[in-house]
Amino acid sequence: MPFSSPRTTLTQYLIEQRRRYPHASGRFNNLILDVALACKAVARAVAQGRLADMHGLHVDSEGVRVNVQGETQQKLDVYANQTMIEMTENSGHLAGMASEEMPEPWQIIDRPRGKHLLVFDPLDGSSNIDVNMTVGSIFSVLRAPEDVIGSGRDVKAEDFFQPGSSQLAAGYALYGPSTMFVLSVGHGVAGFTLDPNLGEFMLTHPDIQIPPDTQEFAINASNSRFWEPPVKRYVDECLAGKTGPRGKDFNMRWIASMVAEAHRILMRGGVFMYPRDTKDPAKAGRLRLLYEANPIGFLMEQAGGRASTGHQGALQLQPQDLHQRIGLVFGSRNEVERIERYHAEPQPLQWHNPLFVERSLFID
């Protein structure tokens, strides 16, 4: 294979970004590099799969574990969570961490504490692990509250309750046909591909932009009977295609791995919906605000797209719980804004008529 011209590494990219902040200490860059290192270790474990006995449920002395979400933990969930902690907690950059797999914040013990909070979903889309489909790790970096930095006290859940708009950085690693690391430090979005020979993430997708319009949507249509009328209306209009009010045909996708759907949308546009629905009235939605919606929403908006609950911008939401769920819509800006408009419009009478359900294109 011919040698290609030299590419920018993740480290070089971060140094370039830091030049915008001459007083920055470089600690922030080291934190991102620690996260990237953890992702490389997880990528290797995901790739080895059964060969490394990495598939199946995690079983320890207490049997099969169920996380705070009520989901059974898989071996790779536990491995990815542990790896993210081990690769980042020694560095002195963190005041604390929170993860999908841990009910309470993780304290940095017997080590120097830093100014940042790391929030992560160690392995998103884990129902896909055993069938060798794409999964990923999602992360978000926040500044710790000033009194945490000043006193070095233990972190509390409330310290993480910051709206997505205050994230310092967010990103994900995608364990797909190639491993990618997609990052925003607040100045656009850049994508890096892991060069397995060098063990380095190389800049392959500078300045990712989401087209404002799209003809592709992603939703779990098996939930259609639980959707709220504005979502049903939007999907019905897409399905009606050229002959409907949109006047164009749409394509549909569903990977059941939100991070993979987000990646597709960053690459070629589209809209993703896991809206609030009536399936389980105790849950406001399926996806978690702090470690799924906020980091992915940050990337979407940094790439010119939008993330919303359907009613308001997702990044403006004030979190109230570490594991809070929300309804989420993200992707191409004009489509997300259309869905928001449908939510804001007074609902036509027909939406209140139960017979309308019979006329839906998603008849169960």
Residues engaged in binding ligand F6P (CB under 6 A): 124-125, 127, 220, 256-258, 274, 286-287, 292
The least CB distance from residue 218 to ligand F6P, in Å, is: 8
Residue type, 72: T
The least CB distance from residue 125 to ligand F6P, in Å, is: 4
Cβ-based nearer residue to ligand F6P, 116 or 286:
286
Cβ-based nearer residue to ligand F6P, 64 or 221:
221
- Starting at the edge strand found earlier in the chain, the sheet holding 251-253 runs 251-253, 216-218, 271-274, 328-331, 306-308
The least CB distance from residue 347 to ligand F6P, in Å, is: 25
DSSP 72: B
The least CB distance from residue 286 to ligand F6P, in Å, is: 6
Rounded to 5 degrees, φ, ψ at 228 are -80, 155
Rounded to 5 degrees, φ, ψ at 63 are 90, -155
Within 10-115, residue ranges assigned H as helices are 10-18, 27-48, 75-88
The least CB distance from residue 215 to ligand F6P, in Å, is: 21
The two structure tokens encoding residue 144: 């710790």
Cβ-based nearer residue to ligand F6P, 10 or 76:
76
The two structure tokens encoding residue 18: 């830091």
Listed in order, strand segments (DSSP E) in 32-168 are 59-60, 63-64, 94-99, 106-107, 116-124, 135-143
Residue number with the shortest CB distance to ligand F6P? 258
DSSP 165-234: GG-SEEEEEEESSSEEEEEESSS--EEEEEETTTTEEEEEE-S----S--SEEE--GGGGGGB-HHHHHH
The least CB distance from residue 225 to ligand F6P, in Å, is: 14
Cβ-based nearer residue to ligand F6P, 28 or 272:
272
The least CB distance from residue 309 to ligand F6P, in Å, is: 16
Grouping H, G, I as helix, E, B as strand and the rest as coil, residue 124 is strand
The two structure tokens encoding residue 284: 């406001």
Cβ-based nearer residue to ligand F6P, 145 or 305:
305
Cβ-based nearer residue to ligand F6P, 172 or 342:
172
Do 46 and 135 meet the contact criterion of CB atoms below 8 Å apart? yes
The two structure tokens encoding residue 32: 């991102």
Cβ-based nearer residue to ligand F6P, 117 or 174:
174
